[in-house]
């Protein structure tokens, strides 16, 4: 607002008692009003600048192109396993891995329990699908799958209390300590093994799975449906598989069987 001094100068001019005041003199504000006006303008400028800077990252993020999906790992050629006794079962396992792709973030290694072989043979195979290598281990089948204890798996079952092995695709689960010591849970993903968790089917170590047991009896002992392996080999197996990988159990039926 105009000061008293500015008002008096204007009145004097209008009454013919003084010189014409400068044009800008009539718009002079007192210092307090000017200071308020200047500070309010500075604050508005700062606020606008702050809002613009805050909005910039959001606009950049909104306009940024989506991140590309991770590339699938390049696997070893089928010829790398062509001479292996489990080669045909491996092809079934790889088909199952693709069918259950949503369930497996880790696709570099899988395990195959080849129940075509007798329990005295190394028939649990951990296969490196990228490098083309494999390692093999003893594994027992369930007593319900071999009632006569012949050493050969005769049948599969998914029924509770059957004490049998189940065929199909499993995903490895949590590692824990239970009645068998260290063990790893198995989650059944197929209609042929989806009772695995209810049946407490796990990967664990057992004294009846060993070279000494085979030397004495010609075969491994039987589990209650679990994949039981030699105790001293369990840590290695858990280290190779860990939670989140596939275990595939089955046997290739002979034509006409």
Q: Are 32 and 3 contacting, i.e. CB atoms less than 8 angstroms apart?
A: no
Going by the DSSP 8-state scheme, the letter that residue 83 receives in this structure is T
Burial of 42 (C-beta count, 10 Å sphere; 0-12/13-18/19+): exposed
Look-up: residue for tokens 């079952």? 157
Q: Is 184's pLDDT higher than 60?
A: yes
Per-residue pLDDT at 46: 44
Which residues is 229 bridged to in the sheet? 205
Question: Can you give the pTM of this predicted structure?
Answer: 0.71
Per-residue pLDDT at 36: 53
> Residue 230 and residue 223: Cα distance in Å, rounded?
12
DSSP secondary structure, 100-135, as one string: TGGG-S--SEEEEEETTS-TTS--EEEEETTT--EE
Going by the DSSP 8-state scheme, the letter that residue 216 receives in this structure is H
The CATH code of domain 78-250 reads 2.40.440.10
Q: What is the pLDDT of residues 88-126, one digit of tens each?
A: 999 999 999 999 999 999 999 999 999 999 999 999 999
Burial of 112 (C-beta count, 10 Å sphere; 0-12/13-18/19+): buried
29 compared with 82, residue with greater pLDDT: 82
Q: What share of the chain is helix, strand, coil (3-state, %, to 5)?
A: 35, 20, 45
Q: What is the pLDDT of residues 121-162, one digit of tens each?
A: 999 999 999 999 999 999 999 999 999 999 999 999 999 999
DSSP secondary structure, 133-159, as one string: -EEEE----BGGG-TT--SS------S
Q: Are 145 and 165 contacting, i.e. CB atoms less than 8 angstroms apart?
A: yes
The residues of the chain that CATH labels 2.40.440.10 are 78-250
């Amino acid at each position: 607002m105009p000061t008293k001094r500015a008002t008096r100068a204007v009145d004097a001019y209008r009454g013919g008692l003084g010189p014409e005041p400068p044009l800008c003199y009539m718009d002079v504000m007192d210092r307090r009003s000017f200071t308020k006006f200047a500070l309010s303008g500075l604050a508005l400028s700062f606020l606008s600048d702050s809002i613009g800077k805050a909005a910039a990252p959001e606009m950049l993020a909104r306009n940024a192109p989506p991140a590309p999906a991770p590339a699938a790992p390049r696997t070893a050629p089928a010829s790398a396993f062509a001479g292996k006794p489990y080669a045909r079962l491996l092809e079934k396992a790889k088909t199952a891995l693709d069918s259950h792709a949503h369930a497996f973030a880790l696709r570099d290694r899988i395990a195959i329990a080849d129940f075509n072989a007798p329990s005295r043979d190394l028939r649990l195979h951990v296969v490196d699908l990228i490098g083309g290598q494999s390692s093999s281990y003893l594994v027992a089948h369930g007593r319900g799958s071999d009632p006569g204890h012949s050493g050969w798996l005769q049948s599969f079952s998914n029924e509770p209390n059957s004490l049998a092995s189940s065929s199909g695709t499993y995903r490895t689960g949590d590692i824990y300590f239970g009645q068998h010591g260290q063990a790893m849970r198995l989650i059944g993903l197929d209609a042929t093994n989806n009772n695995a968790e209810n049946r407490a089917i796990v990967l664990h170590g057992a004294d009846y799975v060993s070279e000494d047991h085979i030397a004495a009896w010609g075969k491994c002992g039987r589990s209650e449906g679990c994949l039981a392996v030699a105790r001293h080999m369990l840590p290695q197996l858990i280290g190779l598989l860990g939670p989140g990988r596939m275990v595939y159990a089955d046997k290739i039926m002979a034509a006409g069987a």
